[in-house]
């Protein structure tokens, strides 16, 4: 493991970990979103997953400018995938709490201040989770707002998680995650010792569902506090994981691997309680054919609306929809 940047002797409250692979377009903005937090007791660990573009140099300059920022690499600067990179960052983290950020995403300024306060108010919580905004307006196109939605609140464009504002006992959140992929949480602030106790991230999951696996391992045995404020913007662009692995067959393969892992994990740990078993069976019944039909029908409906509904009427409907369903964003 390689490391750059000066060490700081006093352990911080939070270890922020940015993993990146060839993110020279967006990495500086991700770093700035951490360094601009209103909560100031943090360290920043930049994990380079084998980048070959200019993002390594961007990370190095950030570490040179800020003594609380350092860069780490896999042996031989190899590309090991998202889970291995998260584990590498966690292995050198010194904070009691850990938060992950991908190199093309950003945090809002109050992310850490809010979630650290929630941890202190809920000492039994293994992690704080919150919705992510699938961010499209970063391009400057105002019409992209119509395509934005939240991840982690269920099958709705915006709104709140069913357990928002609550400390959820195990395995209730895990059951919900199995019942609906749209309820898999994100934007987490995790107690480091809990992440270590469940074995961290599973390195076989290099991309899709890598977060879901780790969240499941925690939620099945530990209480989780569910916040409903958005403090994480997940940037949607052609090279993002969501887009590069968006075809139905790839999603189905990744999802099957995720469910196979969950079943084996629950059985090995003696945690296959009836609610989890039922949710797992129901999850396996979901096929890409049903999802594909649903998305096709929605696409047809949108296309018909665009071609048959007057623009001013469409715009008025959009404005009303945004007013009624806008997410709660931390200023």
For the chain, the domains span 1-105, 108-331
Which residues does residue 102 pair with via DSSP β-bridges, in sequence order? 19
Contact 3, 72 (CB under 8 A): yes
pLDDT class of 131 with cuts at 50, 70, 90: very high
Helices (H), 198-247: 210-219, 241-244
Identify the burial level of 203 via C-beta atoms within 10 angstroms of its C-beta, where 0-12 means exposed, 13-18 middle and 19 or more buried.
Answer: middle
User: 76-117: per-residue pLDDT in tens?
Assistant: 999 999 999 999 999 999 999 999 999 999 999 999 999 999
Helices (H), the chain: 27-35, 55-65, 82-92, 111-121, 172-179, 192-197, 210-219, 241-244, 248-268, 274-285, 288-308, 311-325
Instruction: Report d(CA 258, CA 88) in Å as an integer.
Output: 21
**Maximal C-alpha separation, the chain:** 65
User: 307-330: per-residue pLDDT in tens?
Assistant: 777 877 777 776 665 554 444 444
Q: Residue 97: which H helix or E strand, with range?
A: strand 97-102
E-only strand ranges, 136-243: 149-151, 166-168, 186-191, 224-226, 229-230, 232-235
Distances (CA, A) of 129 to 35, 82, 168, 215, 223: 21, 19, 11, 9, 11
Pick from 86, 111, 65: nearest CA to 21: 86
Pick from 73, 76, 70: nearest CA to 88: 73
Angle between helix 172-179 and 274-285 (nearest 10): 10
Identify the weakest region by mean pLDDT among 28-42, 52-66, 74-88, 157-171. Answer: 157-171
pLDDT class of 295 with cuts at 50, 70, 90: low
Q: Name every residue whose Cβ is closer than 8 Å to that of residue 123 and which is 6 or more positions away in sequence.
A: none
Question: Could you tell me which CATH number the domain at 1-105 has?
Answer: 3.90.550.10
Q: What average pLDDT score do residues 218-234 get?
A: 97
Instruction: Report d(CA 17, CA 87) in Å as an integer.
Output: 10
Q: Is the dihedral of CA 241, 105, 108, 125 positive or negative?
A: positive
Q: List, as one string, the DSSP characters of 269-319.
A: TT---HHHHHHHHHHHH--HHHHHHHHHHHHHHHHHHHHHS-HHHHHHHHH
pLDDT at 30 over 90: yes
Whole-structure pTM value: 0.84
């Amino acid at each position: 493991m390689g490391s750059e940047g000066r060490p700081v002797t006093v352990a911080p409250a939070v270890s922020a970990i940015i993993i990146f692979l060839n993110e020279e377009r967006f990495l500086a903005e991700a770093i700035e979103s951490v360094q601009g937090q209103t909560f100031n007791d943090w360290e920043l660990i930049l994990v380079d997953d084998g980048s070959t573009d200019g993002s390594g140099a961007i990370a190095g300059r950030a570490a040179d400018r800020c003594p609380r920022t350092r860069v780490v690499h896999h042996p031989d600067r190899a590309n090991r995938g998202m889970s291995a990179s998260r584990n590498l960052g966690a292995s050198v983290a010194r904070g009691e709490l850990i938060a992950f950020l991908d190199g093309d995403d950003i945090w809002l300024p109050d992310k850490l201040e809010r979630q650290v306060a929630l941890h202190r108010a809920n000492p039994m919580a293994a992690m704080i989770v919150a919705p992510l905004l699938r961010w499209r307006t970063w391009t400057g196109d105002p019409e992209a707002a119509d395509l934005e939605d939240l991840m982690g609140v269920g099958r709705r464009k915006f709104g709140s998680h069913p357990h928002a504002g609550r400390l959820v006992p195990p395995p209730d959140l895990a059951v919900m995650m199995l019942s609906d992929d749209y309820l898999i949480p994100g934007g987490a602030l995790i107690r480091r010792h809990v992440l270590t106790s469940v074995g961290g991230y599973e390195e076989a999951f290099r991309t899709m569902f890598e977060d879901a696996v780790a969240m499941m391992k925690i939620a099945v045995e530990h209480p989780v506090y569910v916040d409903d404020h958005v403090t994480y913007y997940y940037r949607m662009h052609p090279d993002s994981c969501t887009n590069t692995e968006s075809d139905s067959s790839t999603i189905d393969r990744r999802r099957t691997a995720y469910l196979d892992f969950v079943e084996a994990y629950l059985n090995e740990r003696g945690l296959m309680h009836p609610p989890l078993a039922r949710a797992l069976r129901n999850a396996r019944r979901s096929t890409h054919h049903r999802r594909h039909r649903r998305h096709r029908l929605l696409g047809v409906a949108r296309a018909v609306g665009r071609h048959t509904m007057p623009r001013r009427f469409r715009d008025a409907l959009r404005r009303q929809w945004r007013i009624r369903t806008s997410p709660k964003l931390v200023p």
